[in-house]
Amino acid sequence: MSLGANLKQLRNKKGLSQYQVADRLGIQRARYNSWENDIAKPRYDMLEKLCDFYQVEMNTLMGENPTDISKDSSKSLEQNDTENTPSSIKAWLRLENNDLTENEKETLAEELEDYFLSRKQRILKKRNEQKGNE
Amino acid sequence: MTLYRREIDEAILFANRVYIKYKDFIKNTLQFKSDAFVVNIIHQEGINIDYYPFSNDMCGMFIDDEFEKTIVFNINQSRQSPERRNFTLGHELGHYFMHRDKQSQFTDRTKDLMDNSIKPFEIQANVFASYILLPTKILETMLMSKYSFFRIQKLIKISYKALFWRLVNHLIEIYNLTQEEAILITEEYRQYSIKKLNNEAHHLNAQLFKLTYFNKKQIIDKLKNENIDISYAYNEDEKAPKTKHIIENIENIKSQLGL
C-alpha cells in the first residue's frame, strides 16, 4: 500500500475528516489532501507527527508493513466534499511534473485544490441565486 | 515543428474557421485588438473566464465539467505580461475547439506553451493561439501596409517569439517554403526592423516585402549567401517584455465590449 492509502485508512479508522487531521498537524487541508492522493510526500517532521498522532511505526506508515493497519476501514462520509480536484488533474500532477521538487508539487496541488474548491463554491452560489430569482 | 506538419495544418484550419465565424466583430483591420477578439469569442461560446494567483509556472487551464466550461489563467503571470495572458487564453481556447471531445481537463504549464513542446495537443493549441490572436487576413493587411515586426508586436500584444513563429508558419503556408527558408526570411525582416534608428523606413529593405511565389528561390539563395544569424529562432530565453503596459484586466476588456 502507498503512503497515501495508509494515511487514508488510518484517518478513516479514527473517523476523522481531512480538515481535522490537517488541523492537528497545523497545516492546510489541501496540503494534507495532496499526501493522501500520493501527489506529494510529507516532510520528515510531518511524518513523525503523523506517527505520533496515529501511534504507529514509521515503516508501517510508509507501507512496508501493511498488515499492521486494520482493514476495517469504514468509508469516510465527507470524502466527496473534501476532494475537489478532478482525478485527471491529480494524475497529471503525479505523472507529468517530475521537473518540480516535492515542495513545488505540494504547493501546486494545494493551489489547484484551493482553486477547484472556490470554483465549486462560486458555481453553487450562482445556482442558488438563480433558484432564488425563480 | 515540421514533424507535426499535419497536426499544425489541422490547427490552422480550425483557427481559420473560428476566425470566419467571428470576423464580423472586427471593425477595423489595422486596429485589430487580439485580446478583445479572444475574450469576445470565449464569451460567445459560453465559457466563463476565471483566474487564480498560482505561485508556480502554471499558465492556465481549460475545464469542462457538469458545472460549466471554464478557462482559468494565472493572474500573477498576467500582471507581468498581458502578452502571456493573451497567449494563454488563445491556447486554452484552442483546447476547447479542437480537443474537448477527447479530454475534458487541460492543465498547462509554461513548458506546454513553449515552441518546443513535443505533445501534439499542445503544439496544436499553440498554433491555434497564434492564429486566433493574429488571423491571416489581419497579418496580410499589416504586411501589405509595410508594418515593421515591432509595430505588429505592439499592436497585437503577443510575445516577440509568438509573432516570430506566427510569421514563419505564415510564410510556409502562403509560399510553400521549408521551415528553414521561412525562418531565414522572418529573421532578416526582424533584424531590419531593429535597425530602424534614424531611418524610419529601414525595415522596408527586408526581403519579406519583395517576396512572391515566383522569385522565392532567388531571394532564398541571396539570403543564404548573407550568412544571417538565425540563432534567435532557437534561443529559448526570451528577454522579459517591458512592463510599461497599463494593466488591462479582463473585466476592463469585458466592460469595453459591453459584456
Cα distance between residue B124 and residue B91, in whole Å: 9
The tens digit of pLDDT for each residue in B51-94 reads 999 987 899 999 999 889 999 999 888 777 888 899 999 999 99
- pLDDT band for position B202 (cuts 50, 70, 90): confident
Are B67 and A108 within 8 A, CB to CB?
no
C-alpha B254/C-alpha B40 separation (Å) is 8
Q: For residue B70, list its beta bridge partners.
A: B48, B63
Instruction: For an interface test with A, give the residue of B47, B52, B102 to mutate (most A CBs within 10 A).
Output: B52
Residue A81: all three cell numbers together: 466534499
Q: pLDDT digits over B143-191, tens only?
A: 999 999 999 998 888 888 889 999 999 999 899 999 999 999 999 999 9
Which residues in chain B are closer than 8 Å to A125, comparing Cβ atoms?
Answer: none
Q: Write down the ipTM of this complex.
A: 0.80
Greater confidence (B114 vs B211) lies with B211
- Grade residue A46 by pLDDT with cuts at 50, 70 and 90: confident
pLDDT digits 0-9 by tens, B6-62: 999 999 999 999 999 999 999 888 889 899 999 999 999 999 999 999 987 899 999
Residue B230: in which H helix or E strand, if any? none
| pLDDT tens, residue by residue, A81-107 | 458 899 889 989 888 888 999 889 999
Report residue A73's pLDDT band, with 50, 70 and 90 as the boundaries: very low
**Sole residue written with cell 485588438:** B33
Longest dimension (CA), chain A: 57
| Chain B nearest CA to A105, separation (Å) | 9
Structure-model confidence comparison of residues B136 and A79, the more confident one: B136
CB B125 within 8 A of CB B162: no
Measured between its terminal Cα atoms, the distance across chain A in Å is: 50
* Integer Cα distance of A105 and A99 in angstroms: 9
Give A28-37 pLDDT, tens digit per residue.
Answer: 888 999 999 8
Give the integer Cα–Cα distance in Å for A96 and B232. 28
Compute the count of residue pairs across chains A and B with CB atoms less than 8 Å apart.
37
